[in-house]
Structures are given as structure tokens and as C-alpha cells.
Structure 1
Amino acid sequence: MTITNKSIEQISIPKLLCLIFIPTSVLTIVYIFAGLAQNVIPSLILFYLCAAFTLFPIELGIVMYASKKEYGSFSLKSAFSRYSKMSWWKVFLYGSLLFAFAGIMSVTLAPLENNLFAPISNYLKQITPEYFDWANIEYFGQYSKGILLFTFIGYLLFNVIVGPIVEELFFRGYLTPKMSRFGNWAPLIVTVLFSLYHLWLPFNNLFRISVFFPAAFVAWKKKNIYISIVFHCLCNLISSISLIVSVYQG
């Protein structure tokens, strides 16, 4: 069943900002303090352990609490308030095409952004902890093979499956329909905030927005967040494999 925009309660911009940036601020603060243990445990797994106990429960809790208010029971229904059923092969087709577009942007826009905003990126790297830069391959050299294996298994689980699903339920499923009064601007507004919400990865925002907005827009127009979930999982899968291969080759 598809629920139209008229039946979806809207939220204010200040509330939207609070719903997005309070949880991610909590995670980032916990992550900074957890970084004191990064000489023993790699920051990748530290981050996802922190997220598992802060960000993910908070975001899912917000959706479930909203579902209780809107539908009478704790569930994920509020993440599907604007949902239209679609064949799975179409979902994967859209997700794959969007992923292909992201691949094109990764070899065109991403390098351009890196060059244009190099001074800003370098400054951010200077003022943020070393372990905020997940592309720093040399950082992983201090850990044993056993620790790295454990880290990358957990990284794949959280970065490829858990993280994308939770974020898409929260951002594309729950928050975007709450901005439907802005029409087709809603997915762009939420996508920009989604990119900025990555306080622990304050790099490549232009690239992140450029690849996630098309997915958010298609999911919005087709009323099916499974499209953006598939896309997000594919993106994180390839980026995760790329990082792991780089570490072991290095």
C-alpha cells in the first residue's frame, strides 16, 4: 500500500537538524574518546563498535518511536510511509545503474574535488585525529594479521550491510518524506545533510552528494527505498574491498 504525502506528518527544519546532527555528534564524541584505544584496536572496528551502541540504535529508535506514534506499535513502518511495491529485479536494476553512475563520478568528479579542495582537506586532516582518515593505508601497518582479519570482517559486516540499511531507513525512508512539502527538493535537502552528517569523515562532500542525490531522487520518485539500499550497499561494498586490497597490497 502506498501512503500519499498528505498523510505524512511534516517536521520543521530545526527538528530535522536535531534528528540528524545530535546522534552523529554523540557518535563522533564517543569515537574520539574510543580512539585512545586505537593502538590496540584499529579505528575502523572501533568506529563501528561505537556506532553499534550509539548511532544505529538512536536512528532506529527514532523510526520505531515515530511508528509507535503514527501506527500504534513499535516497528519500522514510519520508514515506509511513502512506499510503492516494485519487482526485485527492477530494484536491483535501478540500484546497479545508479552504482555505475557513482563509478563514473569516482573517476571524474572525485579526483577533481580532491585537487580543488586539497587545501581544505589538508587542513581538516591536520585538525582531526589521524584515525579519521580511513584512506591512510600506512596507519594499518602497526597491526597484526589476526587483528586486521577481525577488523575487516567486522568492517564488511557493518559498512556493507548494517550501516547502509540503517542509514537508508532513517534518511531516505523516514526523514525525506517528512520534508515532502518541499517537493522534489526534499531528497536534495536530506542528501546534503546526510553528507555533512559524516562528521567522522569530513572529506569529499561534493562527491558524496553527487552520487547519493541521484539514488535518493530515484528512490523518492519511485517510492521505494530498497533502490537506495541496494545502491548504498554496492557503493560501500566496492569501497570496502578497495580499502582491504590496498592494505594487504601495501
Structure 2
Amino acid sequence: MDTAMQPQGFVAKLLADRHSVPFSIALHLVPGAAIVGVYAFLAAPLVRAMEFPIFLAWAIALAIVLFPLQLFLLWLGKKKTGRYTMQGIVHYRDKPLARRKVVWLGAACLVWMTVVSLALTPLDNLVYDWFFTWVNYQGAGPDGATYLLGYPHEVVLTTLLICAPFTGFTLPLLEEYYFRGFLLPRLPQLGTWAPIVNTALFSVYHFWAPWTVLSKLVFLYPGVWLAWKNKDIRISITMHPGSALLMTLVGIIALATGAYTM
């Protein structure tokens, strides 16, 4: 681009190769606050009026915030290159690793995230009971199924089928583009602390489930570190959206076949 056309002001600050730590903290956490706001003032009243499980409200709130956030990244690409693109905006997409290595590293992280997240449920229970019983979101609790309780089987299954394409893959994918592809590479001054800080802030970003911060640090960090170390976002994509898709499919199949009842 011509120098005279270079982005200025806040846009230039966003596009910089390095974000200050305070600025990065804000960029990590503001979307989470926006999700809670959308949930409280729009999605939750709508879903309650529809008499659907409150899980649907969180899915709506996430979609309302994360889809525009993705469009914002494309808009930044337009400001930088003159066309709507993630090239130069979302990093770690140059595929430096061989596909076979990505597959086995990603699969290992997927298994780690799935197994460890389930194994650490008692930790989430403990943290919730000690510190977060005051949280009064409908369905709040350490067990993710609490967002679906109290509704007929058919309504729960319908809700999961509606949400599956979004919460089961697309929304976690958008989170990876933003948190791992856009924010993480712009903390080079932190060195090896960058993936730790990114994982911690991403865990806190989930304001709707603060009792899971510690467990998220444990089961997310390996995939984040490997994506950072190898500069290949495909690893964390395989881990995070991959695990979400696996658990969503297993849950739907279990409910549909009657293997699990709410």
C-alpha cells in the first residue's frame, strides 16, 4: 500500500505487530463482556419467551458477538491490503508444518482437552462451591448440562441440533482465529509467557463460567503452546473446535438414542 494510505490511529494500533499488555488484555476480555451483555439484555429474554433451554441464549450471544468480530478482522484486512482478507491479520496460517505432523499433534491435543476437561470437573465443582455460588445466571453451575435441565427430552435435543453447527465447531473456530491467530502473535515481548498469558486471558474471557478458569488453563495450554511454538494455528483448531465437535456429536447421539437422559 502507498504510505499515504497506511492506517492511522486506533486501526494502526490494532494492526501493529506488537500490542501492549494492557491493550491486549482489553482485546481479550471485551468480547467476553459483550457476550454477557448480549445474553442478559437480548438473548436470555428471547429464549425464555420461547421456552427453550437457556443454553440456546448463550449460543445466540456468542454468535452475535463472534460473527461480527470475524467480519471486523476481514475489515482490518481491507484496511491493510485493500481487500477483505485475513492475510496479514490472522497469523500462524502459513502451514509451516507437514499435514501429518499437524494431524498427530492436533489429535493428541484433542484427546488431552477432551479427557482432561472431563477429569477436572471435580475441580470446577470445588471452585464453584467455594467461590461462585453467588453467580445467578440461569443454569449456572460446574456441570455444563445445567444449562439444559428442566426441559422435555425433545426440546433439549432440538436445542442441541440447532446449536450444533455453531457451538459445536464454527464459534470455537472463530475464537481460534481471534485469540490464537490475531492476539497471540502480537505479544512477542512476552517470549515464552505469551501462550500462558493468552490461555489465561482466554479462560477469563468466559465470564459466564469463571469457575472453569483453572481447568481451562490446564487443558487448553498444550494446544496453545504448540500452535505458538510451531506458528501453526491448525494445531489449536484441531484441538479446540475439534473437541467441541466431538463432544457435541457424542451428546446428541447419546440423547437421540436414549443412552443419556436429562
User: Common fold, TM-score beyond 0.5?
Assistant: yes
Query: Which of 106, 113, 119 is the equivalent residue of 1:95?
Result: 106
Q: Which residue identity lines up with residue 132 of structure 2 in the other structure?
A: L
Call closer, same or farther: CA 1:170–1:81 in 2, change over 3 Å: same
Secondary structure of 2:210's counterpart equals coil
Distance between the aligned counterparts of 2:194 and 2:63, measured in 1? 28
Describe the superposition over 1:50-85 as per-residue Cα deviations: whole angstroms up to 9, x where unpaired: 2222x2134214422332343333211211267343
Equivalence for 1:79: 90
Distance between the aligned counterparts of 2:251 and 2:236, measured in 1? 22
Distance between the aligned counterparts of 1:175 and 1:235, measured in 2? 22
Distance between the aligned counterparts of 1:194 and 1:72, measured in 2? 30
Query: Which of 16, 21, 33 is the equivalent residue of 1:25?
Result: 33
Call closer, same or farther: CA 1:119–1:241 in 2, change over 3 Å: same
Describe the superposition over 1:212-236 as per-residue Cα deviations: whole angstroms up to 9, x where unpaired: 1110110111111011001102321
Q: Under a length normalisation based on structure 2, what TM-score does the superposition of the two structures give?
A: 0.79
Would you say the 8 A contact 1:48–1:158 is kept in 2? yes
Once the two structures are superposed, the pairs formed by residues 163-182 of structure 1 within 5 Å of their partners are 163-182=171-190
Equivalence for 1:4: none
1:35 aligns with 2:44: yes
Equivalence for 2:192: 184
Would you say the 8 A contact 1:8–1:81 is kept in 2? no
174-183 or 37-46, which deviates more: 37-46
Distance between the aligned counterparts of 2:99 and 2:186, measured in 1? 26
Moved over 4 A (4+): 107-110, 136-139, 241-244
Query: Which of 135, 141, 164 is the equivalent residue of 1:127?
Result: 135
Would you say the 8 A contact 1:23–1:58 is kept in 2? no
Q: Which residue identity lines up with residue 59 of structure 2 in the other structure?
A: Y
Equivalence for 2:59: 48
64-73 or 190-199, which deviates more: 64-73
Once the two structures are superposed, the pairs formed by residues 158-237 of structure 1 within 5 Å of their partners are 158-237=166-245
**How far does residue 145 in structure 1 lie from its aligned partner after superposition?**
4.2
How many positions carry a matched residue from both structures?
Answer: 240
Distance between the aligned counterparts of 1:150 and 1:116, measured in 2? 31
Q: Which runs of 5+ in 1 are unaligned?
A: 1-6
**How far does residue 203 in structure 1 lie from its aligned partner after superposition?**
2.0
Q: Which residue identity lines up with residue 165 of structure 2 in the other structure?
A: L
Distance between the aligned counterparts of 1:140 and 1:243, measured in 2? 12
Distance between the aligned counterparts of 2:175 and 2:58, measured in 1? 15
Describe the superposition over 1:70-119 as per-residue Cα deviations: whole angstroms up to 9, x where unpaired: 333321121126734333332221111112223453465443x2465353
Q: Which residue identity lines up with residue 35 of structure 1 in the other structure?
A: A
Secondary structure of 2:211's counterpart equals coil
Would you say the 8 A contact 1:188–1:213 is kept in 2? yes
Secondary structure of 1:130's counterpart equals coil
Q: Which runs of 5+ in 2 are unaligned?
A: 1-14
**How far does residue 138 in structure 1 lie from its aligned partner after superposition?**
6.2
Equivalence for 1:3: none
Distance between the aligned counterparts of 2:52 and 2:78, measured in 1? 38
